[in-house]
Every structure is written in C-alpha cells, then in structure tokens.
Chain A
Amino acid sequence: MKAALALLRRDIMLAWREGGAIGVALGFYLVVVAIMPLGLGPDLNLLSRIAPGVLWVALLLAALLAADRIFHNDYEDGALDVLMTGPLPLPLVAATKSLAHWLTTGVPLALLAPVLGLLLNLPLAASPWLVLAMLAGTPAVSFIAAIGASLTLGLRRSGLLLALLVLPLYVPVLIFGVATVSAATTGPGSPWPPFLMLCALSLASIVLAPFAAALALRTALR
C-alpha cells in the first residue's frame, strides 16, 4: 500500500513539475471551446443549447492528448521495466498511474469547465451539476485512456491511434455526461439517473480497466 502511494505521489509530482503537461491540456480545452462559437456563429440561444455537448467533447479530446503521458515517459527511460518486476502487482501499477492521470488532468479540466461554459452561455446555475458530472465521468476517461496508452506503447503515431481506439469506448460516458448536464439546465427530468449511470461507468472502469491495461503492458514489454 505504501508503495502504491509512493508511486502515486511520484507521478503527481512529475506531472506537476513538468508543468507544461497540465497547462497544455487546460490550454487545449480553452482553445477548442473558444473556436466553437467562431465556427458556429454567436447566437447565444444556439450556444447554450449545445454547450453541454461541446464542453464534454472538448474535455474528452483534451484528456486524450494527455493520455500518452501515462506510460510513455516511464517506458522511455526504463522505469516501467523496474515497476513490472517490482513488489506491486501490475494492475495496481496501472490503476495508480491512471489515478495520477485523473488527478492531474481530469480534475483540473472538470474544474475549468464552468468558466468555459460562460463562453458558451451556459447558465451559471448549472455549474455545480456540470462540475459534479465531469468529476464523476473523468475517472472513466482516465482509466479507459490507460488501456489505449498501454496498447499503443512505443508505436509510431501512437497519439492518433490511441484516439481512434479509445473514442468509441467513450461513447457511453459522453452520452450520459451530456444527458446529466442537459437535464440540469433545461430538463425535462432529473439529472440523477444519467448521473448515477456515469458513476457506475466510472466505478466499472476503475475496477476492470487496470487488468486490461496490465495485460497490454505485459504484451508490449514482452
């Protein structure tokens, strides 16, 4: 347990000190959300209707950009080999790294979302549900991204391939995430049912994805 916490602290500190990593993801999120109205026109009614979808899609893309980072740096300098032969079971290593990714990418993106929602005329009253939905959905995003990252470890153009592999798996998260925020802004219906489905998806990914990621890591490093 102490080893897992040490690994978590190490990954968070590396991401924090790398500085650029968290900042780039947030910057990408801002840029994508900012150019949407430039492409779609300034009609505030239209923007407020599509705001949940735009915010969620941009979040998925920003999280995917940073997904490469989960295993790549450790693969490059050999730390992954040390981790594989170390005391921690490989699924726990994968889970810890996914958790670090969530804490350094998913949570900042989720907290930034209401501010960007202002660009899209999302009513401020919906912000609590927006942040809650994203905090509930981003663990699934990070843990599934880890599967993609481990499958494409060391390949050329792995960033694009990772996006192609992982985005179809994100469809349920996207559907329920947008449903939660839409229900909170305009209704009809309560945002609780899709929100609970989102929580279920995250919990299922937290439990199952590390095993798939560990298997893929072993395959990549055979």
Chain B
Amino acid sequence: MISLANPTRFLSLVERLVPWLTGATLILLAAGLYLAFFVAPPDYQQGETVRIMFVHVPAAWLAMFGYALIALSALGTLIWRHPLADVAAKAAAPIGATFTFIALVTGSLWGKPMWGAYWVWDARLTSMLVLFLLYLGLIALWQAIEEPGRAGRAAAILALVGAVNLPIIKFSVDWWNTLHQPASVLRAGGPTIDPSLLTPLFVMAVAFALLFVLLHLMAMRAEILRRRVRALQQTQVAHAALAEA
C-alpha cells in the first residue's frame, strides 16, 4: 500500500494490469453467462426466472463491496492520510452506485413474476435503496466541493457515517420479517443452494468482481490524470498573473 502511494508508480502498475484484467474479465463473464443461461438447470419452483439470480446477486454483493471499499478508503484518508485513498473512494462511488442500481432493477424485474409486485417496502429492499441514496449523496458531495483535498476528507467522513448501513443490509433478512429470501450463501451452516446453481453464481460473482476492479483502476487513473491537468492549469494561471504583475 505504501509503495503504491506514489501516483506515478501506481499509474505504471495500472498500465501493466489493465490488459490482463480486461482479458480475464471478458473470459470469466463469457463463461459465467454461458453457465448461467445454458448449463444451470431451471429451478423446480421458479422455472427459468431463477436465471435473474446470476445477475442480481453478484450485483448486490458488489454494491456492498463497493461501499465497504469506500469506507476503508475513508479510513485511509482520515487516519493514514494515504495520498491515493480519496482517489480510490471518488472512483468507486459511481461504479458502486451503478451496481446498486442494477441490483435494484434486476430484483424488481424478478419480484414481479415471483411476488406479484415490482417493489415492496421490506427491510432488505429499503436498506438497499438507502445504500443507493448514500452513494448519490457521496457523489453529490464530491461534485459540490471544488478543492479535491477538502472534498476527499468531507466525503470520507460521510462515508464512515453511512457505513452503519452495511450490517443493517446484511442482517435485515434475519432481524425483520421480510419477503426477500433469507441468507442462502454466506450463513452459518454453509450455503443452501444446490451446487448446480451455486457454481455459475460464484463464476458470475468473480467475473463481476474483476469487472469492478478493472473499472475502478481505470477510473482512478482518470482521476489522477484529471488532478494533474487541474494542477497544470493552476500553475499556468499563476504564472500568467505573475507575468502581468
């Protein structure tokens, strides 16, 4: 982590990683989608609609993972003052928000045939919607503050305050009577899903995770370069003002 604090070294690492990550992501996505749509059997109760699970569940996992990443980066900004921590947080917010949106929409499309409603206000759905709103708040705060240092620290504080939502999401299906499926994978006693459905799910989850990392690294690279441009512009303006004076 410390060696990566140097933006130039980080950028060169990203340049080397991106081609491999792109290849791995594409291969795993193709494999996962093939397994999900052609190999996995239809569910005995839900029929073919169970295949939405292979997109919905990994998207929801990555949505929470994204926010956890932002919360950890927030600690990096506030406690260790790691130079790239706020870049990581800023880059992850739109990606995490998109995964949350995908989870909400695919879940809604799954809910209509299964529950008869596009949306219900049960604990899991409500807390995921709150997660989406927290992401939007973070992005709005980043946009509102011009100076990147102050924006990074303010967003870090907000991210940590909102991190209390993550355990609420995870345990919402245990603490409340919910319509949403209770924990079937990450639970005491092991997964309750049959391996024929579990394997495509894990492949899709790894594929989504690689996609997240790939997009995140590319976004971080873009943000670092954006800040360099901004610094150059400021130097230019300062020199012009000095020349005039």
Contacts and interface: CB of A to CB of B under 8 A. Distances in A.
A167 B133 CA distance: 9
Contact of A171 (B126, B154, B158, B160): B126
Contacts of B141: 151-152, 161, 165
A185 B149 CA distance: 50
Nearest to A221: B150
Nearest to B131: A168
Given A155-B145, A220-B150, A222-B150, A165 B140 contact: yes
Interface stretch (A31-39, A71-79, A211-219): A211-219
Contacts of B165: 168
Interface in A132-176: 147, 151-152, 155-158, 161, 164-165, 167-169, 171
B30 interface: no
Interface residues of A, number: 20
Contacts of B134: 168
B126 A152 contact: no
Interface in B134-182: 134, 136-137, 140-141, 144-145, 149-150, 153-154, 157-158, 160-162, 165
B161 to A, nearest CB: 6
Given A147-B161, A215-B153, 15 more contacts: A152-B144, A155-B144, A156-B144, A161-B144, A164-B136, A165-B141, A167-B133, A168-B133, A168-B134, A168-B137, A212-B160, A215-B78, A215-B157, A219-B157, A222-B149
Interface of B: 78, 126, 130, 133-134, 136-137, 140-141, 144-145, 149-150, 153-154, 157-158, 160-162, 165
